[in-house]
Amino acid sequence: MRLLDEEHIGDIAVGAAILGSGGGSDPYIGLLMAREAIRQYGPIELYTLDELDDDDLIVPAAGMGAPTVIVEKLPAGDDLVRAFHALGKYTGRKPRATMSIESGGMNSIRPIYLAARLGIPVVDCDGMGRAFPEIQMTVLTANGISASPFAMSDERGNVLLIDAVSNQWVEVFARSCVMDMGAVGAIALYAATVKQLKEGAIRGTITLAEEIGNTARNARRREANPIDAIRRAVGGFLAFRGKVTDVDRRVSGGFAKGSARMAGSGRFAGQTLMLYFQNEHLVLRIDGEYVTTTPDLIAALDAETGEPITTEALRYGMRVAVIAFPCAPQWRAPAALKLVCPRYFGYDVDYVPVEERLGE
Amino acid sequence: MRLLDEEHIGDIAVGAAILGSGGGSDPYIGLLMAREAIRQYGPIELYTLDELDDDDLIVPAAGMGAPTVIVEKLPAGDDLVRAFHALGKYTGRKPRATMSIESGGMNSIRPIYLAARLGIPVVDCDGMGRAFPEIQMTVLTANGISASPFAMSDERGNVLLIDAVSNQWVEVFARSCVMDMGAVGAIALYAATVKQLKEGAIRGTITLAEEIGNTARNARRREANPIDAIRRAVGGFLAFRGKVTDVDRRVSGGFAKGSARMAGSGRFAGQTLMLYFQNEHLVLRIDGEYVTTTPDLIAALDAETGEPITTEALRYGMRVAVIAFPCAPQWRAPAALKLVCPRYFGYDVDYVPVEERLGE
């Protein structure tokens, strides 16, 4: 167990936004919430799975909806507390701790905020090692952990519980209801024992996010090249560098979908990148050729500062460096891959690991 | 307390379909289910509210969705049991009995089916004294009884619980989810104590349905005019008699919406009736003039047999007698009327009691 203070949270937010592959919402909103909570309630305990009892119940907490809307409707936090308590009540067990369901600017921080408010620990693991747009898109699903019971609440105080026959059905009902809520809701889901998570979750993702965020911060402080420092920290590749020339974005069915076009510069001069996203960055094509696809990770970074750019923040004229890096190895097992492969999202291409596409 | 056997249920189904004002689904489907259940489990106990303890918890059960679809997807009944148990578990109390939320061919019978399967009584009251298309459209809402917690299940085994800040919000979430389920689901809702129901419910509606059904059956047996016998049993008016010349029907947002045009015969010769419906018959206009509006009741009956015709059964060429009769007096209080007045449904007319429009 170690304690997380305000500085740690800042690094986690930045690092998680890079792992979030453009999703999980703007890190600064979650950061403000969590910093305020820590100031009010004190530092948070971060546990590894090995430090907990196998029978302890862990209940992940997150936000759900279109990031475009989440940016416009700052969450108050009570919705998250309500969803978490509703799930605990439904299971009839007291949760020992909370955790992230995904790595992302907002959804890595929201559990920390919740932990501060409720005086419970956070566990150093998550269900994706990145962010994905749909509920069932976790390695937990592939490992037989149920997203049900699923609890959702909104700013008005509405509470929903879903106990569905599959994690895909949870997604169906939750997506309809989050649209009814105004495209943003707070959720608790995938309640699992420590024993289940030891086999089913991706470990150490909070610490990984913190290391990446710390690397980026130190590079800026040393006036070193932050892009290269981040690229090395994530073990990835510089996939592209250039300027955004067009962004096509729409909110559809509860998702922010679209694409961005970029004109290359430096060693990418004359090349055109297409970045396709659905809440998260999913696919990169350069001059029509696939360069990286889901579930490998894509981080669009401000070319100067290295700050991660979420899908909803992409704008015409931005100068961007695009880093691609390997997903958590659990995603490459067939049962997991079929949940998030390019064809699931409608792209007519098979998954090829990014290191085979971009490695030397 | 008295026992309901197969013959009683048959009369209740027919009478409730007349009270259902064209909604609540085809009586014969529910009838088959309930008869089978009684054969298997024995007769059902029907209690008045006065025969129960004030603290007893009563949980109404019903079907929800577009009747057009319900006709095509015969319910198995397990969904209703699941919804009822889910609500009981959520409240943490054992329900003493069930009841109808509305009077209608299917939704008066479903609680009887459930009672047979679970060996619990049915209470002789409901929340509408007729059928209406939306969850919050009950005199219970007007009397401060919450539709939450609300449970819904489908044939697959999915279970949802909604604990919303208003009965209108229950409708919003439930409507989205029932669409996801394929436009048909089983629900349990408006859990209330006997004390609450004594003030908030419409009493005696099962017995009333049985009397109306019995009247219709006896009239047919005596070869008397069933239309006139039914008209007298409900205390209503013959609003129209004629032939269906056009039906416009569509499933939209989980509802079966539309209208039927009829050409008059007998003393209505030369007149044109427009019957507007949204799951239930809501408005009658003759030659453009409003004759009856929600919440007063409209029954379209087969002109020969007196059998009630539901909104989804209306067809070109049918010979129809249309009976209009006063709603339960609770609907005429302002708080109730605003939930179901013609303007709520989009008709540009104020409510005038049917006896003022059609009485001598």
Q: What's the pLDDT at A147?
A: 98
Same topology between domain B2-205 and domain B227-358: no
Residues in A closer than 8 angstroms to B173, CB to CB, are: 158, 160, 176-177, 180
> Mean pLDDT across the stretch B255-259?
86
Residue B156 is predicted with a pLDDT of 95
**Residue A250: per-residue pLDDT:** 87
CA distance A204 to chain B (A): 33
What distance in Å separates the CA atoms of residue A24 and residue A40, rounded to the nearest whole number?
Answer: 25
Task: Please state, in angstroms and rounded to a whole number, the distance separating the CA atoms of residues B293 and B357.
Answer: 10
- pLDDT above 70: percentage of residues in chain B: 96
Closest chain A residue to the Cα of B168, Cα to Cα: A158
A-B contacts at Cβ under 8 angstroms = 59
* More confident site: A252 or B213: B213
- The structure tokens 């509920």 sit at A135
Cβ distance B172 to A164 less than 8 Å, yes or no, reads no
**A317 and chain B: CB distance < 8 Å anywhere?**
no
**Mean of pLDDT values over B227-231:** 95
Contact B173 A161 (CB under 8 A): no
Note every long-range contact of B337-341, with CB atoms under 8 Å and residues 24 or more positions apart, other chains counting. B337/B295, B339/B136, B339/B137, B339/B138, B339/B141, B339/B142, B340/B132, B340/B137, B340/B294, B340/B295, B341/B293, B341/B294, B341/B295
Q: Which CATH architecture has domain B227-358?
A: Beta Barrel (2.40)
In the block, tokens 């590079």 appear at: A219
pLDDT surpasses 60 at B73 = no
Looking at residue A277, its pLDDT comes to: 94
A253 touches chain B (CB under 8 A): no
pLDDT at A105: 77
pLDDT at A271: 98
Across chain B, where does the E strand assignment appear?
2-4, 44-47, 57-58, 61-65, 122-123, 125-126, 150-153, 159-163, 184-188, 192-193, 202-203, 237-252, 255-264, 272-278, 280-286, 289-293, 297-302, 319-325
Domain boundaries, chain B: 2-205, 227-358
Which residues of chain A fall short of a pLDDT of 50?
none
pLDDT band at residue B333 under the 50/70/90 scheme: very high
pLDDT in the model for residue B57: 98
User: What is the nearest CA distance from A327 to chain B, expressed in angstroms?
Assistant: 32
Confidence band of B254 (pLDDT split at 50, 70, 90): low
CA A359, distance to chain mean position in Å, is: 25
At residue B70, does pLDDT exceed 90?
no
Task: Check CB contact under 8 Å for A90 and B90.
Answer: yes
Token pair, residue A17, equals 């936004």
Peptide bond into B295 cis (omega under 30): yes
Q: Which of A86, A161, A180 lies at the smallest CB-CB distance from B160?
A: A161
pLDDT in tens, B169-201: 999 999 999 999 988 899 999 999 999 999 999
Is-contact A141 B64, C-beta < 8 A? Answer: no
Greater confidence (B74 vs A253) lies with A253
Taking domain A223-358, whether its CATH number is 1.10.3720.10 is answered by no
Determine whether the interchain pair A159/B157 forms a contact, defined as Cβ–Cβ distance below 8 Å: no
The nearest CA of chain A is from the CA of B263 a distance in Å of 42
Specify the CATH class of A2-205 in words.
alpha beta
The beta-carbon neighbor of B156 closest among A161, A162, A165 is A165
| Mean pLDDT (chain B, rounded) | 93
- The pLDDT confidence band at residue B68, using thresholds 50, 70 and 90, is low
Nearest-Cα distance to chain A for B42, in Å, is 32
Q: Find the DSSP H helices in B20-126.
A: 27-41, 67-72, 78-91, 110-118
| % residues pLDDT > 90 (chain B) | 79
A90 touching B, CB under 8 A? yes
Range in A245-259, B237-251, B253-267 the model is least confident about: A245-259
Its pTM surpasses 0.80: yes
Substitution target in B78, B148, B155, B180 with the highest count of A β-carbons within 10 Å is B180
Element (H, E) at B6: helix B6-19
Tell me: the pLDDT tens digits for B82-92?
999 999 999 99
